[in-house]
């Protein structure tokens, strides 16, 4: 499967557990960063470029490949990469991107073991499950509440 999209997966560790960087798109629900791989561009480099363009996080590097995901949407195959940054990131922030004529994305952290809300776009729910699997986390309904 040749990937068509690159997806940087940025996680942070908190006392409550791992959290995933997500954002609220003004018209398309909660998502994770992803974007097209340009002709001749390596998927890993596309992931870092997309992270900078969509979130403003410029100081990042690839930790590892998480593999590829067929999202069953418009023949898209996503190359998923865990990334890290040395930037001190706040709990929430807004970033203006030039995508689609300019958008304001609201970034925040989602508990990796938490169920997605109804605001999540279905394609990104599948991506969240893939990321959980790559991090060896059971789905929320299988986790024991303490």
pLDDT of 146 strictly over 50: no
pLDDT of 139 strictly over 70: no
pTM for the model stands at 0.90
Q: Residue 120: is it exposed, middle or buried by C-beta count within 10 angstroms (0-12/13-18/19+)?
A: buried
pLDDT of 144 strictly over 50: no
Classify each residue of 48-81 as buried b or exposed e, where b means 16 or more C-beta atoms within 10 Å of its C-beta.
bbbbebbbbbeebeeeeebebbebeeeeeebbbb
Place of tokens 């940025």: 10
Q: Look at the alpha carbons of 10, 12, 18, 19 in this order and tell me if their dihedral is positive or negative.
A: negative
pLDDT of 145 strictly over 50: no
- Number of domains comprising the chain: 1
Domain that residue 100 falls in: 5-142
Q: Which helix or strand (DSSP H or E) is residue 133 part of? A: helix 122-134
**Domain holding 12: CATH number?**
3.90.79.10
pLDDT of residue 138: 58
């Amino acid at each position: 499967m040749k990937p068509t999209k690159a997806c940087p997966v940025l996680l942070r560790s908190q006392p409550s557990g791992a959290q995933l960087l997500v954002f609220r798109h003004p018209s398309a629900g909660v998502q994770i960063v992803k974007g097209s791989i340009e002709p001749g561009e390596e998927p890993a480099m596309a992931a870092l470029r997309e992270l900078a363009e969509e979130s403003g996080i410029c100081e990042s590097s690839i930790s590892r490949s998480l593999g590829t995901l067929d999202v069953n949407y418009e023949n898209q195959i996503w190359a998923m990469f865990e990334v890290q940054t040395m930037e001190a990131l706040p709990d929430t922030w807004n970033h203006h991107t030039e995508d689609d004529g300019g958008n304001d994305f609201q970034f925040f952290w989602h508990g990796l073991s938490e169920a997605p809300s109804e605001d999540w776009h279905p394609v990104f729910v599948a991506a969240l499950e893939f990321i959980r699997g790559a991090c060896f986390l059971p789905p929320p309904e299988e986790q024991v509440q303490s």
